[in-house]
Amino acid sequence: DQQVKQNSPSLSVQEGRISILNCDYTNSMFDYFLWYKKYPAEGPTFLISISSIKDKNEDGRFTVFLNKSAKHLSLHIVPSQPGDSAVYFCAASYYSGGGADGLTFGKGTHLIIQP
Amino acid sequence: DSGVTQTPKHLITATGQRVTLRCSPRSGDLSVYWYQQSLDQGLQFLIQYYNGEERAKGNILERFSAQQFPDLHSELNLSSLELGDSALYFCASSDGTGRMDTQYFGPGTRLTVL
């Protein structure tokens, strides 16, 4: 059972426009959410995170929004640049008593920025 | 470059065999995590070690085991390999100081079981 879902396998956006990547989760115990970016032949790279006590977190061109009641988060990239073309993974974790634990990942969304 | 290194980059082996994947965490990081990325399952958490001790287990098969050594490098041992074990295996590390510390991923080892 997929606890973190990214329902769009791919997304194409024009350079300079806004990219919005979506993620839904089912486990209400999740309280920390992250976005990772992955280029081919490389490992995932951390982008931005948000704790469940917040509903928004910004870092430069990247903003993550969290809607706890809907169990939904989104990543906004403004403006989109060619180097943003990559696979984006949504990930989540919850406190199980042992400190930092493994992340539960979605299957990823392939973002393609068109020139 | 995340600072996490993994060897080998590629590994091709036969069913029934045993392999060892190696990971060196970023300097100063005490936690190591192993993940498996297969085509149908996506990225799945396998196991976590913190300063030499097992801390959390995910979807790790009994045929798989891991350990973290005193110098903090980690090895993932996969035995009685099956075709379905073909996947990318990632190691990640974090400083382990808190629950929300960032995990930094290595480039992965691509395992092909023939």
Condensed to tens digits (0 to 9), the pLDDT of residues B55-76 reads 889 889 999 999 999 999 999 9
- For A43, the closest of B2, B42, B94 (CB atoms) is B2
Per-residue pLDDT, B1 = 84
What is the share, in percent, of chain A residues with pLDDT greater than 90? 85
Pairing outcome for strands B10-13 and B109-113:
parallel
How far is it, in rounded angstroms, from Cα B41 to Cα B43?
Answer: 7
- What is the reported pLDDT for A100? 52
Q: Would the CB atoms of B107 and A44 count as touching at under 8 Å?
A: no
Q: Which residues of A touch B76 (CB under 8 A)?
A: none
E-strand ranges in B39-108 read 42-50, 53-57, 64-68, 74-78, 87-94, 104-105
Question: Which of A35, A95, A107, A109 has the most B C-beta neighbours within 10 Å, making it the best mutation to test the interface with B?
Answer: A107
Which chain A residues are within 8 Å of B47, Cβ to Cβ? 102
pLDDT averaged per 10 residues, chain A (length 115): 92 98 95 94 94 95 97 98 97 72 90 96
pLDDT for res B59: 84
Q: Contact A58/A66 with Cβ under 8 angstroms?
A: no
Q: Mean pLDDT throughout B70-97?
A: 95
Contact B105 A36 (CB under 8 A): yes
On the question of pLDDT at B50 being above 60, the answer is yes
Return the pLDDT at B26. Answer: 96
Task: Retrieve residue B70's tokens.
Answer: 């005193």
pLDDT at position B52 over 90: yes
Percent of chain B's residues with pLDDT above 90:
82
Mean pLDDT, residues B40-65 taken together: 91
Please check the confidence at residue B98 and state whether its pLDDT lies above 90. Answer: no
Strands A4-5 and A19-25: antiparallel
Cβ burial A63-77 (10 Å sphere, 16+ → b, else e):
bbbbeeeebebbbbb
- What is the distance between the alpha carbons of residues B49 and A108, in angstroms, rounded to a whole number? 26
CA atoms within 13 A on the CB side of A31: 9
Q: What is the pLDDT of residue A41?
A: 86
Per-residue confidence (pLDDT) for residue A52, from 0 to 100: 92
Q: What is the pLDDT of residue A98?
A: 54
For A3, the closest chain B residue by CA position comes to B44
Query: Is the CB of A102 less than 8 angstroms away from the CB of B96?
Result: no
Place of tokens 């989540």: A92
Q: Does residue B44 surpass a pLDDT of 80?
A: yes
| Structural contact between residues B25 and B74, judged by C-beta atoms closer than 8 angstroms | yes
CA distance A25 to B40: 18
Single-letter residue type at A77: I
How high does pLDDT run on average in chain A?
Answer: 93
Say if the Cβ atoms of A99 and B44 lie within 8 Å: no
Q: Strand B109-113 relative to strand B42-50: parallel, antiparallel, unpaired?
A: unpaired
User: How many beta-carbon contacts under 8 Å exist across A and B?
Assistant: 75
Contact B95, B31 (CB under 8 A): yes
